[in-house]
Amino acid sequence: MHISDGILAGSACVAGYVAAGGLVAAGLRGASQADSARTGILTAAFFLAGLVRFPLPGTSVHLLLASLNGIALGSLCFPSIFLALLLQALLLGHGGISTLGVNMLIMSVPAYLSGVIFHKGLKRGVSGWPFFFMTLTGVLVLGARLLTVALFEAGLVNFKLSWPSAAVWGGAMAGIIFLVFRFGKKADSVHIWGFSAGALSVFFSAVLFYLVLSFAPLAAHAAREGFVELARFAFVFHVPVILVEGIVVALLVRYLDTVTPELLRLQKPAVALVVMAFSLLLLMPFSVKAHAVGADAYVEEGQIIVEVWTDGGDVPSSGRVIVLGPEGEEVARGEIKAGKWTFRPDSAKSFRFIVDIGHGHGKTFSLHPDELHKLNKALASQGPAKQEEARTSPAGNDMASQERGAAKHESPRPGPSSAETLTRALLGLLVIGMVCAFLMLRNLRREVDELKKRLDKDA
């Protein structure tokens, strides 16, 4: 999850360094010389602990353990992570020198936040289960959505989960894992907060990585779409890492809390929160642009021409259009070339167009009644012979006819209506709720039995 040299534009690199400088200064503020020595040695230890490879079925991963840094060092984690990344860039060639500031923000801000969450949670004596459940749900929902979008755009599957469907699937998975953890084995609050801190740290780092590649200014040669895809794949591949990191941090924190609890109490007061907010804001204004998609269809010489553009005035180089009939049946589909796509219909109907130019940008619209009227007139003036000729002529309508042929083999996929989606989401939540209620009742029953036994013994 490190951004290499040469991806970001100079302005983003400078902004990253300025923001990182602010955070490092905030981290070092109030630290004594003895703190520097201790932090330096612990930085080396964290650097090495991060190189330990943890096995996964079929492969192995090295963990980031930045959250542990945040938990143990608090705001001193900013200089610590800055130096660790500098050494990684110089000794191992991971990351970059020009992008060091941005990489440091990606890693250290979530680490610091996860440290704050861990300490606040433990201090207030909250059990942490709701937080655990929310963390898991967030990871799995985003993972499920991005995985299916990535596979869909790679052409490996012919569907992608909508956000509500991803919420149902992710929520259901999180519910099952939650129940296994909650009732399978007794885990204490240090475990739970440790898991949440570890998983959230990597999760937010992956999200920040994605946001930086999506919105920060890139070098002139770097194609935004390619790097957004890269970030999406990186996120999907990190989902197992997030879960393993959560488990390992939970176990490590439990171990450290038992053996040297003072190691987890080194952190300085939260002086860095305000600086951190400003630092992140510094990265934002460069290129936060909405990519609203504009699209329209008009009739010309018996053909419907679909034109697509973005609000910045750019014309998308690729994308696709699906044409649906009045009953929602697919009539044709095609690829957008240089912002345009032409389609010659057999008859005039109130067509609906679904435009998708990738990365979640799209628009659905219907043919304007005036244009429908024009189409009616144009088709009538052509007469049945001409229409037949147009249908059979390879030059006239080859694209649309080929695509219609292809469409026969593919099921039409107009998205589910909002009522349908809501029903599915509610159904999923109901199932999770019922399973939760069943297991909670079972647990309650067990506890009542134990209490009864103890009372009998006392009696």
Partner 1 sequence: MHDHIGLHHGPEHEVAIDRIDPRFRIVSIFIWVGTAAWLNNFYALSAALLCCILPAAFSGPGLKRVLERTGYLTLAVMPAWLLLPLMGGGIEVAAAGPFKLHASGLLAASLLQLKASTILIAVLGHQGRTPWNRWVWAAHKLLVPARLLALLTFTLRYLPLLSEESKRTYTAAVARGFHARANLKGYRGLAALAGAGLVRSYYRSERVGRALSARGYQGRFFLLRDTRAGAAEAFFLLSSGGAAVAIIVLIYWII
Residues 42-101 contacting partner 1, CB under 8 A: 42-49, 52, 54-57, 65, 68, 79-80, 82-84, 86-87, 89-98
Q: State which of residues 248, 367, 400, 407 lies at the interface with partner 1 (CB under 8 A).
A: 248
Residues β-bridged to residue 98: none
Half-sphere exposure of 418 (CA within 13 A, CB side): 0
**Best CA proximity match to 319, nearest among 332, 307, 330, 331:** 307
Among 211, 251, 273, 431, binds partner 1 (CB under 8 A): 251
* CA–CA distance, 74 with 265 (Å, rounded to integer): 9
Phi, psi (5° rounding) for residue 9? -75, 160
Q: How far is the CB of 401 from partner 1 (least distance, A)?
A: 23
Q: Are strands 362-366 and 352-356 parallel, antiparallel or unpaired?
A: antiparallel
Q: Which of 207, 211, 222, 271 binds partner 1 (CB under 8 A)?
A: 222
Tokens for 391? 């249908």
Q: How far is the CB of 28 from partner 1 (least distance, A)?
A: 5
Binding status of residue 252 toward partner 1 by CB under 8 A: yes
Under rule CB under 8 A, residue 255 binds partner 1: yes
Half-sphere exposure of 142 (CA within 13 A, CB side): 22
Question: By C-alpha distance, which of 89, 91, 92 is closest to 103?
Answer: 89
Task: Choose which of 126, 211, 247, 271 interacts with partner 1 (CB under 8 A).
Answer: 247
Applying CB under 8 A, among 127, 158, 226, 415 the residue interacting with partner 1 is 226
Per DSSP, what are the bridge partners of residue 234? none
| Segment interacting with partner 1 (CB under 8 A) among 159-167, 175-183, 217-225, 284-292 | 217-225
Backbone φ and ψ for 342, nearest 5 degrees, come out as: -115, 145
Query: Scanning residues 315 to 334, which ones bind partner 1 (CB under 8 A)?
Result: 317-318
Phi-psi region of 32 (alpha: psi -120 to 50; beta: other; left: phi over 0): beta
d(CA 420, CA 267): 49
* Binders in 394-453 for partner 1, by CB under 8 A: none
CB of 51 to partner 1, least distance (A): 9
When asked if residue 221 is in the footprint of partner 1 (CB under 8 A), the reply is yes
CA nearest 343: which of 379, 397, 387?
Answer: 397
Task: Answer yes or no whether residue 33 interacts with partner 1 by CB under 8 A.
Answer: yes
Could you give the CA distance from residue 245 to residue 255 in angstroms, rounded to a whole number? 15
Alpha carbons 104 and 346: distance in angstroms, whole number = 59
Rounded CA-CA distance 200/206 in Å is 10
What is the CB neighbour count within 10 angstroms for residue 156? Answer: 9
Query: Is the CB of 38 or the CB of 291 nearer to partner 1?
Result: 38
Which stretch in 34-42, 199-207, 365-373, 383-391 sits in contact with partner 1 by CB under 8 A?
34-42
Of the pair 38, 386, the CB lying nearest partner 1 is at 38
We find the least distance from the C-beta atom of residue 447 to partner 1, in angstroms, to be 25
For the beta carbon of residue 380, count every other beta carbon within 10 angstroms: 12
Binders in 2-21 for partner 1, by CB under 8 A: 2, 4-7, 10, 13
Q: Does residue number 259 form part of the binding site for partner 1 (CB under 8 A)?
A: yes
Give least dist CB 251 to partner 1, A: 4
| Nearest Cα residue to 248 out of 47, 50, 2 | 50
At closest approach, how far in Å is the CB of 6 from partner 1?
A: 3
Interaction between residue 233 and partner 1 (CB under 8 A): yes
Residue number, 55 or 394, with CB nearest to partner 1: 55
- Among 179, 211, 263, 439, indicate the residue that binds partner 1 (CB under 8 A): 263
**Binding of partner 1 at residue 39 (CB under 8 A)?**
yes
How many residues touch partner 1 (CB under 8 A)?
77
Q: Under DSSP, is residue 120 helix (H, G, I), strand (E, B) or coil?
A: helix
CB of 2 to partner 1, least distance (A): 7
Residue 48 or 430: which CB sits closer to partner 1? 48
Contacts (CB under 8 A) with partner 1, residues 131-170 = 155
Residues present in the chain in total: 459
CB of 102 to partner 1, least distance (A): 12
- Please tell me the distance from the alpha carbon of residue 240 to that of residue 56, in angstroms, as a whole number: 8
